[in-house]
Structure 1
Amino acid sequence: MGLTRLNKIIADAGIASRRAADQLILDGRVSVDGQIIIELGGKYDPEISDIKVNGESLKINKSKTYLAFHKPAGIISTMSDPEGRPNLGDYFADRNDRLYHVGRLDKDSEGLILLTNDGDLAHRATHPSYGLEKKYLVEIEGEFNKGLSDQLLQGVRLEDGLARAIKVVHARAVSKTHHWVEITIHEGRYHIIRRLIESLGLQVLRLIRLDFGPINLGEMKAGRHRVLNSQELTNLFTLLNIK
C-alpha cells in the first residue's frame, strides 16, 4: 500500500472522514507502533505499522463498498441506536465491512441514501464545496402556484440564512390544495426541504429523495439496496474530483 497520510488511512478504514480523523489525531486518540501521534501530516504504511484508534488496531479495507439504499420512512439515519430505534444498521447487520451513511434523511423522510466504507468519498460527498445536487419528490398540502415556485428559486430567508432551490418542477396536482412537486437543491442543511416548504405556509405530507448527485433511486423498493455500478462510480468520482 505504501506510505499514506495517517488521516487517509483512518478514513479508508471506515472509522471517520479525513477531517474527523485529524481531530482524532489532535486529541491523542491515535497511535502508531505504540507511540501516540498528535501531529498532522505524518505518513505511514498500514501494512507494516500497527495503527490504533482508541486502542483498537485498524482493519484495513482493501476493497471499497458503495451502496445505494432506499430508506423507508420511520428509520433514523444512524448505523446504530442506543435507544433501540429502527436504524440503517438494522438492514446491514450481516455485513462484515464497517459501513457508514453519506449524509442524512430525517426519520419521516424516505428515499435514496448512500452507504460506504470509503471515508474520503463520504467526506467529499457531504462537503458544501462540492455542492452535489439532490432531488426530492415532495407531497404538499396547500395551494402551490408559479409564484411560490419562483420564491423557492429566488431564495427564502430561514433562521440560519438564505436557502433556495436550483430547480422546481410541478409534477402533479391531485387537487387545488394537494400537489406533488420535484425540488432540487445543492445543500444539506437540517430539514432544509421541509423548512423551505413550511416557510411558504404549506405542509409537507411526504418527502422522498430521488437523486443524490448522479445516483438515482430508480424503481428500487423501500428497504432494498444495490451496489453502485461502474458508470455511477465514475460519474460520482468525477464530480468529487477523486482520482
Structure 2
Amino acid sequence: MSNTYERLQKVIAQSGVTSRRKAEQLIIEGKVKVNNKVITELGTKVSPDDKIEVNGVQLEKEVPVYYLFYKPRGVISSVKDEKGRKVVTDFFPEIEERIYPVGRLDYDTSGILLLTNDGEFANLVMHPKHGVEKVYVAKIKGIPSKIELGRLRKGVRDKGEILKAIRYRILSTDKKKNTMILELTLREGKNRHVRRMMEQLGYPVMKLKREQYGLLTLDGLSVGEYRKLTPKEVKQMVNLATQIVED
C-alpha cells in the first residue's frame, strides 16, 4: 500500500508530532524537508516511501495495525471529544500506535467498528464508491407493510440525499409491542443513514447495531472488546473493495 499520496501536513499530524494547523505553519516557515529538500508549499503530497524531517528530526513510520472493535452504545467514534464523553480509543489504553476509527458509528449505535493507522486501507474500505457492504440490525417502532419496506430499496429522500438499503430482511415482529426487528444491508454509510431512512418512513429506530462489515463479523467478541485483524482478513477486505470497484 505504498502508492498512496497524502498531503504533507496531514502525514505530519498523523505521526503525532503536532497538529495539522501547526504542521502547516512549520511548512510555511521552511522547517520541513522531504527527501532532504526544504518544502514550503502546503499542497505538497508525499508517499509512505518519502523521508520526512520536521525541525531536523525524521518522522518515524509506524507499522500498520488493524483492529476490529465491538463498539458499545454511548461511545463517540473519535479519538477525542470536546465534551469529555467516552471515545472509542479509550478502550485501547495499551496500544502504542496512533490509531483512529474507520468511518463512524453513531453515539447510540453499537457494533463493528474498525480502527487503524493505515490511511489508505481506511479510505479504501469506507469510501462509498467501493461499496463494501455493511449489515445492520434495527429494532423499530411500528410494523411497516411490505410496500413501505419496498421503499427502502428504491430509496427515500431526506435533506437532499437519497438513502437506501440494497437488501432487507424481517427477523421478527411483535404485534403486542408494535415493534419489528429488521436486518438492513447498506453499501453507503451516510450520517445516521439507517435512523434517517426509517424516520422518513415513519418508523423510528429504537435500537441499532452493525453486525457485519464486509467479510468481518462480531463472532467471539463481547461489547467493548477488540481483536487484531489477521493479515488474511486485511487482504480479503482490500480485495473485496478493489473487486467491487472493478466490477
Shorter chain as denominator, the TM-score bin is 0.7 to 0.9
Would the aligned equivalents of 1:12 and 1:117 in 2 still touch at CA under 8 Å? no
Task: Give the length in aligned residue pairs.
Answer: 230
Post-superposition offset of 1:75: 0.2
Deviations 1:50-70 (A, max 9, x none): 433x99853201x22111000
Which deviates more, 103-112 or 155-164?
155-164
Report the CA distance between 1:220 and its aligned residue: 1.6
Deviations 1:22-64 (A, max 9, x none): xx77994782147234253556854xx3433x99853201x22
Which structure 2 residues correspond to residues 119-158 of structure 1 after superposition, within 5 A?
119-158=119-158
Q: Does 1:51 align with 2:53?
A: yes
Query: Which residue in 2 is equivalent to 1:239?
Result: 240
Specify the SS of the correspondent of 1:86: coil
My pick for the range that moved more, 132-141 or 25-34, is: 25-34
Select the residue among 20, 37, 40 that pairs with 2:44: 40
Q: How many angstroms does 1:190 deviate by? A: 0.6
**Bigger shift: 203-212 or 29-38?**
29-38
* TM-score computed with the length of structure 2 as normaliser: 0.81
Inter-partner Cα distance in structure 1 for 2:26 and 2:129: 26
Deviation, 1:128, is 1.6
The amino acid of 1:99's aligned partner reads I
Corresponding residue for residue 212 of structure 2: 211
Name 2:14's counterpart in structure 1.
Answer: 15
- Alignment check: 8 A CA contact 2:7 2:46 kept: no
Residue in 1 aligned with 2:186? 185
- CA distance in 2: counterparts of 1:84 and 1:26, whole angstroms: 28
Is the CA contact 1:5–1:41 (under 8 Å) kept in the aligned structure 2? Answer: no
Unmatched runs of 5 consecutive residues or more in structure 2: none
Distance in 2 between the 1:4 and 1:26 partners?
26
- Letter paired with 1:160: G
TM-superposed deviation, 1:108: 0.5
Distance 1:162 1:107, change over 3 A: same
Identity %: 30
Which residue pairs with 1:74 in the alignment?
74
Unaligned runs of 5+ in 1: none
Distance in 2 (CA, whole Å) between partners of 1:148 and 1:27 is 56
Provide the alpha-carbon RMSD of the alignment. 3.2
Amino acid at match of 2:44: L
Contact 1:68/1:225 (8 A) holds in 2: yes
Kept after mapping to 1: 8 A contact 2:142/2:203: yes
Is the CA contact 1:73–1:109 (under 8 Å) kept in the aligned structure 2? yes
Whole-angstrom distance in 1 between the partners of 2:232 and 2:47: 32
**1:109 maps to 2:116:** no
Q: Is the 8 A contact 2:4 2:120 kept in 1?
A: no
